[in-house]
């Protein structure tokens, strides 16, 4: 089993979460979450780069540009994507319902959806569920929310830390969902992270963008970018004040990076049908872009991914992927490729000391690192992926049935 149990999720002062079963897709399954923020909170967010972005993404972007949020509304079971102008009206109607209950502007509500694309949002069920979710608001509601936002995930995903900054405790807690349609530029994922720190909105956005670049934009299950991706970071301002270019802010940024990496890796560990967690590290490239180009060519290769599923040390597939990554003037004599500690390629071919026994010992592990040393420059990049199994095909073939 690649997945890990949900850790303790520390409450964040000033943020409450309420969850209910609204029968959006499956009766009696928790599928609707409302989060509320105390006045004075600020939010940062990043969204999918898919041009066919979902209605809630359009509305959330619009609302966030107008004012800081008071509430977040999240549903699973329906993506409200590919639904045209009607989908946007439905997303706004749901925001209006939350706003009426909470006594705030509709623009202070951010909507998020995940699930099947192309079907009308079941607004009636959501409107009926909103009061029930609000009635269950609780600072301790993180675990319930983590379960309620799942789609094909098999386990809830969360991470939480308390850090000491100049004698004051700062909490960062986050949850995420995602298991398939995972590719950088976000993924088919939603992530919600909060802190009790007091941070300006611009600095908070810089922190989140940097953290996402090191985490959620460094994972891939299948190379597909979703229509609904979003990651939100809320700072409730109930705790320590942090300012850019200070040691305390640097500590906070490091902790946020760690939270995002934990959540991103949890998505890969729960990748649809995944049986192996794979790190692809490309070192000594001329630029970060070429390192990522090589890494993703390996990670997206169906031949590499199926060999990983089979536990087959078919190193030729990795070599071929590196060779077709499109790196100009690649010096094959300098290139080295490793499976964990075992060198499989050097001097333009199979490493002289490589044996199938050594390769098989690595491939029998559930966690594997494919390391490529380009010997071209000072840059290195790491991404995380998984294998491609029979179950991945089955899950996605039967997704709407």
- Could you give the 3-state DSSP secondary structure of residue 8? coil
Query: Distance of alpha carbon 22 from its chain centroid, rounded?
Result: 25
CA–CA separation, 165 and 247 (whole Å): 9
- For the residues of 354-367, what is the DSSP string, one character each? --HHHHHHHHTSSE
Over pLDDT 90: what percentage of the chain? 84
pLDDT at 188: 57
- pLDDT tens digit sequence for 191-234: 999 999 999 999 999 999 999 999 999 998 877 667 788 999 99
**Higher local confidence (pLDDT), 323 or 273:** 323
Residue 258 sits in which domain range?
15-269
Cα Rg of the chain, angstroms: 22
Tokens of 246: 């200070």
**What is the SS3 string spanning 155-188?**
CCEEEEEEEEECCEEEEEEEEEECCCCCCCCCCC
Burial of residue 67, with CB atoms counted within 10 A of its CB: 0-12 exposed, 13-18 middle, 19 or more buried? exposed
Greatest extent of the chain over all pairs of C-alpha atoms, in Å: 71
The DSSP secondary-structure symbol of 224 reads P
Q: How many CA atoms lie less than 13 Å away from 394 in the CB half-sphere?
A: 5
Q: How many residues does the chain have?
A: 401
Distance CA 39, CA 386 (A): 42
Q: What is the dihedral of CA 163, 169, 170, 172, to 10 degrees?
A: 60
**Helix residue ranges, H only, 270-364:** 288-299, 302-310, 315-323, 356-363
- Which of 269, 285, 300 is the endpoint of a domain? 269
Q: What is the value of pTM for the model shown?
A: 0.94
Q: Tell me: the pLDDT tens digits for 70-88?
A: 999 999 999 999 999 999 9
Q: Do 265 and 299 sit in the same domain of this protein?
A: no
- Report the pLDDT value the prediction gives residue 133, as an integer from 0 to 100: 98
Q: Do 41 and 149 have their domain in common? A: yes
Token reading at 345: 């390629």
| Percent of the chain clearing pLDDT 70 (strictly above) | 96
What pLDDT is recorded for position 399? 67
Q: In the predicted model, what is the mean pLDDT of residues 294-316?
A: 95
Write down the pLDDT at residue 295.
Answer: 97
Choose one of 246, 269, 292: the last residue of a domain.
269
How many domains in the chain?
2
- Catalytic site positions: 188
* pLDDT band of 391, cuts 50, 70, 90: confident
The answer to whether residues 150 and 298 belong to one domain is no
CA torsion sign, 334 to 335 to 337 to 341?
A: positive
Which residue, of 243, 269, 295, is where some domain finishes?
269
| Number of CB atoms found within 10 A of residue 331's CB | 11
Q: What is the CATH number of the domain that holds 359?
A: 3.10.20.340
Answer whether residue 170 is part of any domain.
yes
Confidence of residue 182 (pLDDT cuts 50, 70, 90): very low
The CATH number covering residue 55 comes to 3.60.70.12
Same domain, 210 and 235: yes
Position 157 pLDDT exceeds 80: yes
pLDDT for residue 400 is more than 80: no
Residues 76 and 161 in one domain: yes
Residue range 80-116, pLDDT digits in tens: 999 999 999 999 999 999 999 999 999 999 999 998 8
Averaged over 146-170, what is the pLDDT?
A: 94
CA torsion angle for 375, 378, 382, 388 (degrees, to 10)?
Answer: -30
Strand partners, 110: 72
Residue 1 lies in a domain: no
pLDDT band (50, 70, 90) for residue 30: very high
Compute the distance between CA of residue 266 and CA of residue 270 in angstroms, rounded to an integer. Answer: 6
- Say if 321 falls within a structural domain: yes
320-353: pLDDT as tens digits? 999 999 999 999 999 999 999 999 999 999 999 9
Task: Decide if pLDDT at 185 tops 50.
Answer: no
Is there a single domain that holds both residue 130 and residue 200?
yes
**212-214-220 Cα angle (round to 5):** 85
Give the integer Cα–Cα distance in Å for 128 and 112. Answer: 17
Q: Is residue 311 one of the residues assigned to a domain? A: yes
| Residue 246 shares a structural domain with residue 309 | no
> Hey, is 95 helix, strand or coil?
helix
215-225 as b/e, with b when 16 or more CB fall inside 10 Å?
bbbbbbbbbeb
Average pLDDT over residues 260-271: 93
- In a domain, residue 6? The reply is no
Residue 180 has pLDDT above 60, yes or no: no
């Amino acid at each position: 089993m690649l997945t890990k149990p949900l850790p303790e999720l520390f409450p964040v002062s000033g943020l409450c979460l309420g969850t209910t079963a609204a029968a959006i897709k499956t009766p009696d399954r928790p599928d609707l979450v409302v989060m509320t923020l105390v006045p004075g909170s600020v939010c940062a967010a990043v969204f999918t780069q898919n041009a066919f972005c979902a209605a809630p993404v359009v509305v959330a972007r619009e609302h966030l540009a107008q004012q800081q949020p008071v509430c977040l509304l999240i549903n699973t079971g329906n993506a409200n994507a590919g639904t045209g102008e009607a989908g946007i009206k439905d997303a706004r109607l749901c925001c209006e319902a939350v706003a009426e209950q909470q006594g705030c502007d509709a623009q202070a509500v951010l909507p998020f959806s995940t699930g099947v694309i192309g079907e009308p949002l079941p607004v009636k069920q959501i409107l009926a569920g909103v009061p029930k979710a609000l009635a269950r608001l609780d600072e301790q509601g993180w675990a319930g929310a983590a379960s309620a936002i799942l789609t094909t995930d098999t386990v809830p995903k969360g991470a939480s830390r308390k850090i000491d900054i100049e004698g004051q405790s700062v909490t960062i807690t986050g949850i995420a969902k995602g298991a398939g349609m995972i590719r950088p530029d976000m993924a088919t994922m939603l992530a919600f992270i909060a802190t009790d720190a007091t941070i300006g909105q611009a600095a908070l956005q810089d922190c989140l963008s940097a953290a996402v670049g090191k985490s959620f934009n460094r994972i891939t299950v299948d190379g597909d970018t979703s229509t609904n991706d979003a990651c939100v970071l809320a700072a409730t301002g109930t705790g320590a004040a942090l300012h850019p270019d200070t040691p305390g802010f640097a500590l906070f940024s490091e902790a946020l990076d760690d939270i995002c990496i934990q959540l991103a890796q949890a998505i890969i560990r729960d990748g649809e049908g995944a049986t192996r967690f794979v790190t692809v590290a490309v070192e000594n490239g001329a630029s970060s872009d070429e390192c990522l180009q090589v890494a993703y060519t390996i990670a997206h290769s169906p031949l590499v991914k199926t060999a990983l599923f089979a536990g087959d040390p078919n190193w030729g597939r990795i070599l071929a992927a590196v060779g077709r990554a499109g790196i100009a003037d690649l010096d094959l004599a300098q290139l080295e490729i490793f499976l964990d500690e075992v060198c499989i390629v050097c001097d333009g071919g199979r490493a002289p000391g490589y044996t199938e026994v050594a390769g098989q010992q690595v491939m029998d592990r559930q966690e594997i690192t494919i390391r490529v040393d380009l010997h071209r420059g000072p840059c290195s990049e790491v991404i995380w992926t998984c294998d491609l199994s029979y179950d991945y095909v089955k899950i996605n073939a039967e997704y709407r049935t």
